[in-house]
Structure 1
């Protein structure tokens, strides 16, 4: 990662800690966001093994975990580089769940996962690191697991890493629209290509 990327990464982490302390990210719990989380849950039901181990990259304060409601999972690990968001997630004491303050650039999974979710986080990874991070996480995705990617609006410079990856097969892709014209998400689900 070059020096400019390091600076922007450091600055973003400081800004997000401040914003989580002030409550700026409470909007993730709004009705406007509900359809995005519903689609992620729908893809988990359709493509993940039963009672999956879930890895949520960019988990914030655990909103996806809470939005899963009665969805049966064995284990949930949320990772975020905002220490403040992780503290808030840990304070919720959600069942079968852990939250780890870690930058995905340096994250080393201690297990394989049946579902890995880039939860509005892939576009924050510096371009020079995207391929490496994606491959590192795919190495920790179970053979029958699913990778789910949620990206706000069009996510320029992101989708090609999934759509052109010879190790992935796209099993679902949908644009989730809302009542606000410029508020929409694209969500893709991918499985590993059998060798």
Structure 2
């Protein structure tokens, strides 16, 4: 990323901190988002190992963890670059869960995971960093691990990294709709070939 891109990245982080602090993203725990989170949970149960370890990139304040039963995972690490969202997630004291403030563009997992979720995060990565981040996360998967990606609407400039990958194969893909025409998500599950 050039200096201008780095500035915009920093500015986005400051904006997200401000928005989480003001409650702007409390709507992620609403019923409007429930179907999307439920699709992620369904994919975890259908394609994940029993009692998996999960890395949630773009975890925000821990909504995915709240939508899961603690018996359905052995360990949950939520990662977000908004320190305010992580403060909220940590205050929930969710079982078998930790939350860290980190930027996925530079984050290097200290362990391997059974499931890695790009939770409405992949499209925020600078185009020059998307493949690098994806490769690093593929390396952080346990044997038979899966990647689940949730993207709001079309996700232009994102899906080709998964669908055209020479190392990933698509296991499943769903479009999650709501009663609002412009509120929908695409959720895909991928494993190593």
| TM norm structure 1 | 0.97
In structure 2, the partner of 1:41 is 41
Q: Deviations over 1:118-165 (max 9, x none)?
A: 000000000000000100010001121110000000000000000011
Give 1:71 deviation, angstroms. Answer: 5.0
Tell me whether 1:64 sits opposite 2:64 in the alignment.
Answer: yes
Equivalent pair of 2:86/2:100 in contact (CA under 8 Å): yes
* Unaligned segments of structure 2, at least 5 residues: none
Equivalent positions of 1:1-195 (< 5 A) are 1-70=1-70, 72-193=72-193
Partner SS state of residue 128, structure 1: coil
Give 1:68 deviation, angstroms. Answer: 1.1
| TM norm structure 2 | 0.98
**In 1, Cα distance between equivalents of 2:165 and 2:4:** 27
Equivalent pair of 2:70/2:95 in contact (CA under 8 Å): no
**In 1, Cα distance between equivalents of 2:120 and 2:91:** 22
Partner SS state of residue 146, structure 1: strand
**In 2, Cα distance between equivalents of 1:176 and 1:80:** 23
Displaced runs of 4+ in structure 1, greater than 6 A? Answer: none
**In 1, Cα distance between equivalents of 2:26 and 2:131:** 31
Give 1:4 deviation, angstroms. Answer: 2.1
